[in-house]
Amino acid sequence: MKLGVVFPQTEIGSDPAAIRDFAQAVESLGFHHLLVYDHVLGADAANRPGWLAYTIEDAFHEPFVLFGFLAAVTTRLELATGVIILPQRQTALVAKQAAEVDVLSRGRLRLGVGLGWNSVEYEALGMEFGNRGARVAEQVRLMRALWTEERVTFRGRWHTVVEAGIRPMPVQRPIPVWMGGADDRALRRAARLADGWMYGGGLPNPFTRAPARRPRELVERLRAFAGAAGRAPATLGIEGRVSVTQGTPDDWRKAAEEWQALGATHLSVATMRAGFATPDAHVEAVRRFREALSA
């Protein structure tokens, strides 16, 4: 099981040196990957009663630009998005940006994608919110074509590309595409289309009132959907998530063991919202997590 760290988006600050030092510390501690969340815009919650999620007060570094920087200051750390909100973006542009990151990092990109829940972003970016689930499958097919074929002709319901291609092409052909989401529609989509699935906490979005679904239930459903799609469940990667806000080091180790027993291929530790005031405090937390798992 490959261990990674969730980039503390809302708490890392904007000092490039601190961001560099954090990534290099994660790499030097032997972690396999750095997982970065994505939001383009934060909503002002003042006139949005019941808003439960990130707001205009929360800072988010743009993942592709951030990865261009991190590619230059790390050497082996995999750079993963968890997740890019794909349907609110132009597909060919995402394919181009991802290919560039893969080139600059020498093949270290893993592209996690999802539908998102923030209609404010979709509106601002000029994309339809209501049909995002229908569009994402076509987006993935087009991206893979652009990453693997020098000259692409693609005619879909929402996309048309005629005798065009990306240069430079990525190192990985295709770049791995993982998917997030925790309702049955998202799990079915990941089982059918993705190279792997990312656990985000069990809820479809921050506004749902439904109870969280436990990891075992989600993994079992995912594998059942993979089998129904004619796919060997073992070919699908699984990324678990552990937060240092959840109990003691013994609890972290137990949670990691539970994910490993479920067959997870990757596991990321999150340090946000644990009360850490500095990047160094986040580094110390992931160090303690690593030590807890080695005990």
C-alpha span between 25 and 28 (Å, rounded) = 5
Instruction: Say if residue 83 is preceded by a cis peptide, omega within 30 of 0.
Output: yes
pLDDT value, residue 207: 56
C-alpha span between 106 and 100 (Å, rounded) = 10
pTM of the model: 0.96
SS3 per-residue string spanning 95-160:
HHHHHHHHHHCCCCEEEEEECCCCHHHHHHCCCCCCCHHHHHHHHHHHHHHHHHCCCEEEECCCCE
Q: Which domains does the chain have, with CATH numbers?
A: 2-294 (3.20.20.30)
Q: DSSP secondary-structure letter at 211?
A: P
User: What are phi and psi for residue 282, nearest 5 degrees?
Assistant: -65, -40
| Mean pLDDT estimate for the chain | 95
Token pair recorded at residue 111? 């592209």
Q: What percent of the chain has pLDDT over 70?
A: 96
What would the pLDDT profile of 188-206 be if each residue is shown by its tens digit?
999 999 999 999 865 445 5
